[in-house]
Structure 1
Amino acid sequence: MKRTMLRKSSFALVAILSFGLMAGCANKAEPRYAPKELQRFEARAELSSEWRTRVGKGLGQARHPISPALDNDVIYAADERGRVMAVNTESGDRLWQTDLEVGVSSGLTAVAGQVYLGTRNGEVLALNQDDGEIAWRARVSSEVLAPPQPNNALLVVQSVDGAVTALDRRTGQERWAHTTTEPALTLRGTGTPTVIDPVTFAGFANGRLVTLDNRSGQPLWERRIAVPRGRSEIDRLVDLGGQPVLAPDGRLFVTSYNGRLVALDAPSGEVLWEREHSSYLTPVLVGDRLFTVNEASHIIAYDARSGEEVWRNRDLEGRWLTAPAFADGNVVVGDYEGYLHLIDIQDGRFTARTRVDGSGISVRPLTDFRRIYVLANDGRLEALEINR
């Protein structure tokens, strides 16, 4: 019972965290990173709106991380009340819509004819991409916020209680489950596992990264990425809130809150390099450059081979950026006021900017070469084209 109450209190904590990680004197609390005002710049490209549509009521007051998914020229998106739809990427036309009887809480994953999602009541659903009909549903241990991750045989789901459950992709039957001890107080959200055929890489709120054998769910190796420090429970948060990024050559990049950015050898877990870096967002790897957004909303480019910082853009500090995406030579991020920003990957300077929606953007944009798809918090879904 005590653990449940603490987890409920974490919702209030995260309301504070999500508006600035409050710090200051006893009589006057101020945001740790006050949002910077946007400055004018000379645009090197323009963003044109191709189409827009509405996805139900959006992410809801709790800002559930219901990120859309893209597969075969179709976007699959959902709102927090359980409305799921398929949208043609060229025209913006709605192909189908279905209303579930339960609220959606996780990002969506679309692959091989199905759409996978998690719910607030601890269910995982597989929908047919053709018509939105439910193919199967399965129960896991608690609410699901991270998008379910597939390989050829399994669907791996990480839930808010720290459990990782592998389901049969065809039937939804449980194959194995791995549990871990989570701190009483955590950031709202969980890490998203990275799944390949032989193994799953999963990060947890206790600051540990575990590699699980997909045949059995047994750990193959485990590394501590972040160590709790400080007196308060807030200071001691060390969540691995992003998704490990696996490079084709077997390097694995992991971020942590109040911790480090670490590059590891995926087969062995050996640390290749590390940097002090606090982030709960997933980085993006483009060639030998790794782009991250830290807790201050600085956008940082690292040499992925050595860990050396290449450039840093501080102009969006405190603006609660999304995880970064990549499109046509640019890092793409959204912010809390609904602006979409493009930053050149070579020099860290702004390329273009547009305001999508005043409700804000909190889920990572989808990209397809010069096309960017943005879901705003109130459910507005817009397609934008980069024009040079």
Structure 2
Amino acid sequence: INGNNLEEILIKTKRIPMEKILEWAIDLCDVLHYLHGYQPEPIIFRDMKPANIMVDSLGKVRLVDFGIAKIFVSGVKQTTIGTEGYSAPEQYKGNANPLSDIYSLGATLHHVITRKDPRLEPPFSFAERKLMDFNEEATPELTTVLDKALSFEPDKRYQSCAEMKEAFLALRYRPTISVTSVQANGGSAELKPRKTSRELTSAPLDGVVQPIWTFKTEDEIRSSPASSDQLAFVGSYDTNLWAVDLNNGEFIWKRPSDAGIACAPGVDMSHSQVIIGSEDYTVRAIGMRDGRIHWTHITGNKVRSSPTVAHGYVFFGSDDGKLYALNADNGRYQWEYDAGAAIRSKPCITNDRVIFGTEGGEIIGLELNGTRKWAMRPKKAVTSSPFVDLEGICYVGSFDGFIYAIDADSGFSHWRLRTNGPVISSPTVHRNLVYVGSADGKVYCVNTQTGKERWTMQTEKPIVASPVVHNGVVYIGGTDNIFYAIDAMSGKELWRFNAKGAITSGAHIADDLVLFGSLDHNLYALPVVQN
């Protein structure tokens, strides 16, 4: 697994956003729930701790080191195995059971949130180290959840990981957080309490939908928004990167550049910053909370390639023809690759590849150190951003009208599908289907194995925006000013929303909202379809 264990991350970072901690907590509950329900016999992990949790290049957690995991047989004592500080009281007596893993998960999360190592503290003394005394993002509700998980008596804990997951879900989707509002010049910060979060809302299935909120910038929004920690971020051709409250669309801060912004922001949660490129030739790392500049890097031409943050680095292209890799922490230059033509494609980063397209008509695969591994040459420019699925297949479109499926490791072509117009839209994959728009005005759904169409949906004008799939629904905007919600399996239109300008921005899912920008200057937040 390409990544770091959680213990290493605690050493290397000063802060981990609470949103990311809750995401990991939910995922770990899912893993333990799977182990505890394993057939024919449940499995107890018995050694949950930060060192046994890997965070991969995509920010996802993986449970590792199953060396002392054991089949659970009720009433049968085991040897006393585990790690002092994280192990449940009954585990010291050889009575480990699924509820012991719940205790250990609580201990692990307590360590991550407070950064107080339980191995260095008196046994079973978590209650003496209140979360809110060590982490300003902690809430009384989160304290209640962990206190229950860390109960000395097993019957007072959550009785399953599924139950514990529900508690974390309630925290994650009903947050109340305070942030700072920063003046546009980035100087002094003014504390501004955030409103409490809205109730979860679902888009109706009767074809009519209304925005939860809209936010108007000062010029066209050409690229996709991003979100993190209850903030939405979007670049505008008014030269600004904007941060708004995800709950209500209220202005939080803006950071100006010296030219228009035509690429999407990249979120770097490890350093609590947003990375954005501008046509002023510069890439900036900006603090999520205060809008202050952490570092800058100047290239040789306009930056229209959206940055990707992975492996502790920021990868992006420039119209100067180079693909750059910078240290995400401080912006220090690592390497560059000269592709010989402008790069406007967002790089796709895997565990061992950097894949991107060029305006000169190449799809290039590099090793993580910048060494060229392979190249493929469609007939025309590749502005579309590659997507690599779990099988290691890369999907990307080209101005030549084709959608390509390529082996991410070798560059070998598996198949290609011809559309009737340039493919500027970036593909996305859901299950065994790839979705993408084309300038012929169609949304395509294609079988990843065969390269054959499952369905298409015709719109009135070219589609250059990129789709996103969520809960079985495809969301995508068109230059006909319409934002569509489409059933992912059948291609049936569920609803449409009319903006006041063309939509070239890709869609972005944030909790129960789908966000997108428009050339009408607005950032829209619509409710997702709840299946």
TM-score (norm 2): 0.57
Cα distance change of structure 1 residues 208 and 100 upon mapping to structure 2, 3 Å threshold: closer
Partner of 1:242: 384
Partner of 1:9: none
Name whichever of 238-247 and 333-342 sits farther off.
333-342
For residues 194-231 of structure 1, the C-alpha deviation after alignment (integer angstroms, 9 at most, x for no partner) is 1234321011123221111222x11012222x13xxxx
Partner of 2:215: 53
Cα distance change of structure 1 residues 254 and 321 upon mapping to structure 2, 3 Å threshold: closer
Q: 1:43 touches 1:350 (CA, 8 Å); kept in 2?
A: no
For residues 97-140 of structure 1, the C-alpha deviation after alignment (integer angstroms, 9 at most, x for no partner) is 33345543322111211111111121110001110100000111
What's the secondary structure of 2:302's corresponding residue? coil
Q: 1:320 touches 1:335 (CA, 8 Å); kept in 2?
A: yes
Work out whether 1:220 is the aligned partner of 2:373.
Answer: yes
Q: 1:327 touches 1:369 (CA, 8 Å); kept in 2?
A: no
Q: 1:321 touches 1:333 (CA, 8 Å); kept in 2?
A: no
Q: 1:142 touches 1:160 (CA, 8 Å); kept in 2?
A: yes
Q: 1:47 touches 1:387 (CA, 8 Å); kept in 2?
A: no
1:300 to 420, 444, 463: 444
* Structure 2: runs of 5 or more not aligned: 1-203
Runs of 4+ aligned residues of structure 1 deviating over 6 Å after TM superposition are none
Q: Percent identity?
A: 20
Partner of 2:355: 201
CA distance in structure 1 between the aligned counterparts of 2:386 and 2:485, rounded to whole angstroms: 23
CA distance in structure 1 between the aligned counterparts of 2:351 and 2:332, rounded to whole angstroms: 18
Cα distance change of structure 1 residues 78 and 274 upon mapping to structure 2, 3 Å threshold: closer
CA distance in structure 1 between the aligned counterparts of 2:486 and 2:316, rounded to whole angstroms: 33
Q: 1:58 touches 1:79 (CA, 8 Å); kept in 2?
A: yes
Q: 2:423 touches 2:464 (CA, 8 Å); kept in 1?
A: no
CA distance in structure 2 between the aligned counterparts of 1:369 and 1:51, rounded to whole angstroms: 14
Cα distance change of structure 1 residues 259 and 92 upon mapping to structure 2, 3 Å threshold: closer
CA distance in structure 2 between the aligned counterparts of 1:82 and 1:321, rounded to whole angstroms: 22
CA distance in structure 1 between the aligned counterparts of 2:319 and 2:362, rounded to whole angstroms: 15
Cα distance change of structure 1 residues 48 and 318 upon mapping to structure 2, 3 Å threshold: closer
Q: Alpha carbon RMSD of aligned pairs, Å?
A: 2.2
* Structure 1: runs of 5 or more not aligned: 1-41, 60-64, 228-237
CA distance in structure 1 between the aligned counterparts of 2:437 and 2:446, rounded to whole angstroms: 11
TM-score (norm 1): 0.77
For residues 305-345 of structure 1, the C-alpha deviation after alignment (integer angstroms, 9 at most, x for no partner) is 2111111112x142445222223322212222422111211
CA distance in structure 1 between the aligned counterparts of 2:364 and 2:516, rounded to whole angstroms: 32
Q: Partner amino acid for 2:411?
A: G
Larger radius of gyration: 2
Cα distance change of structure 1 residues 271 and 336 upon mapping to structure 2, 3 Å threshold: closer
**Structure 1 residue 303: deviation in Å?**
0.7
Name whichever of 125-134 and 83-92 sits farther off.
83-92
Q: Larger RCO: Structure 1 or Structure 2 (Cα < 8 Å, ≥ 6 residues apart)?
A: 1
What's the secondary structure of 1:47's corresponding residue? coil
Q: Partner amino acid for 1:282?
A: S
**Structure 1 residue 58: deviation in Å?**
3.1
- State the aligned residue count: 323
Work out whether 1:129 is the aligned partner of 2:288.
Answer: yes
CA distance in structure 2 between the aligned counterparts of 1:320 and 1:261, rounded to whole angstroms: 14
2:250 to 93, 107, 110: 93
Q: 1:327 touches 1:371 (CA, 8 Å); kept in 2?
A: no
Q: 1:296 touches 1:317 (CA, 8 Å); kept in 2?
A: no
CA distance in structure 1 between the aligned counterparts of 2:454 and 2:262, rounded to whole angstroms: 36
**Structure 1 residue 262: deviation in Å?**
1.8
CA distance in structure 1 between the aligned counterparts of 2:253 and 2:225, rounded to whole angstroms: 15
Partner of 1:365: 507
Work out whether 1:327 is the aligned partner of 2:486.
Answer: no
Cα distance change of structure 1 residues 101 and 271 upon mapping to structure 2, 3 Å threshold: closer
Cα distance change of structure 1 residues 365 and 387 upon mapping to structure 2, 3 Å threshold: closer
Which structure 2 residues correspond to residues 6-155 of structure 1 after superposition, within 5 A? 44-59=206-221, 65-112=222-269, 113-155=272-314
Higher strand share: 1
Partner of 2:333: 174
CA distance in structure 2 between the aligned counterparts of 1:324 and 1:176, rounded to whole angstroms: 31
Partner of 2:122: none
CA distance in structure 2 between the aligned counterparts of 1:52 and 1:92, rounded to whole angstroms: 6
